[in-house]
Structure 1
Amino acid sequence: MSGSSSTAANLVRTVKVKAEKKVYSLPGQKYAVPEEREPLRIFYESLSKQKPESEMAEFWLMEHGMMSPERAKKAYEKKQKRQKHQRMGTPIKAEISKETSESSRKSSNAKNDQRTKKRSLEYEDSDDDDLIMKPSKAKQK
């Protein structure tokens, strides 16, 4: 037996057959439509009904072919835009109306005022004033 025949036996390769990629008709769809009682389907459908502006629900429904072609196209374009910005490192801010931002500022200011008042009352009530020591003088050589 020659050395080349033994190396040829060692070089037997297995050929992997790639699974055929399914092509879906809706834009952005990657997966088959899940069954009606699928827990994730129920979750994302209810999320979409409760918060129509939820991108997470919108993208999931699009990827699973559960949107109309028009909505799926809009969601797909939105997702492409978001992915492009993520690759570039450009942060995307959520669009917030002026009314929402002003009302949230007012409520956060009111909360901060309440906290400050509460802290000041706590300090007034404490008897820690007796424990405050005067700074000692540095030792001189």
Structure 2
Amino acid sequence: MASETTKSKQKVSATTKTEAKGKSIVTTSKKTTTTTTVRTKKVYSLPGQKFDVPEEREPLRIFYESLSKQIPSSEMAEFWMMEHGMLSPERAKKAYEKKQRRQKEIRMGTPIKSPPSRGESSKKPQQFSPPSRGESSKKPQPPPVSKNGDAKANKRVVDDSDDDDFVLSHKRRKG
């Protein structure tokens, strides 16, 4: 019997009988006790690091390293590499602070565009922006000219006189 109490699991069972006004009630209870191990959270030396450094041939590592080389201003690559301990301590600290600011802005509900990094503004090519629809419709367009020099009449005929008789809605109006 002494060897049974040293195990990590113990089972206890009890049976009780109660009689009340001619009825017998049988109650059975079982109690199981187990010992559990407490998992400790791993603490990393770099700021913002949450995971172990992945192996060199890990596909995600290859992807984010190449993304970081091709687009050095990529926050996505910077944050992933920071969380996996692949940045230098000073660069990891900057990335961690940037991520904290970003999360704070998201919680506040007022996302603010971060200022461009040092060389980013000079590298951007100027993009052509087409005119808005309002500007193009305001300009009068000359009618097309045929080969013999006569201006063609528009095929669309606009008659505004019948517009007043047309009823859009049959809903009752409060008035």
TM-score w.r.t. the length of structure 2 is 0.56
2:86 is aligned to 66
Change (3 A) 1:45 1:100: closer
The range that moved more, 52-61 or 84-93, is 84-93
* SS in structure 1 of the partner of residue 72 of structure 2: coil
1:19 to partner: Cα distance: 2.6
2:155 is aligned to 130
Q: Identify, as 1 or 2, the structure richer in strand.
A: 2
Letter in 2 for 1:65: G
Indicate which of 32, 40, 43 corresponds to 1:20.
Answer: 40
1:15 to partner: Cα distance: 6.4
Distance of 1:22 and 1:124 partners within structure 2:
76
Letter in 2 for 1:138: D
Structure 1: gaps (5+ residues): none
1:59 to partner: Cα distance: 0.5
Indicate which of 59, 69, 72 corresponds to 1:39.
Answer: 59
Change (3 A) 1:71 1:19: same
CA distances 1:21-44 after superposition (whole Å, capped 9, x unpaired): 111111111001111111111111
1:18 to partner: Cα distance: 4.3
TM-score w.r.t. the length of structure 1 is 0.68
Q: Alignment RMSD, CA only?
A: 3.8
Which of structures 1 and 2 has the bigger CA Rg?
2
Distance of 1:30 and 1:64 partners within structure 2:
6
1:95 is aligned to 115
Count of residues in correspondence between the two structures: 127
* SS in structure 2 of the partner of residue 130 of structure 1: coil
Distance of 1:70 and 1:87 partners within structure 2:
26
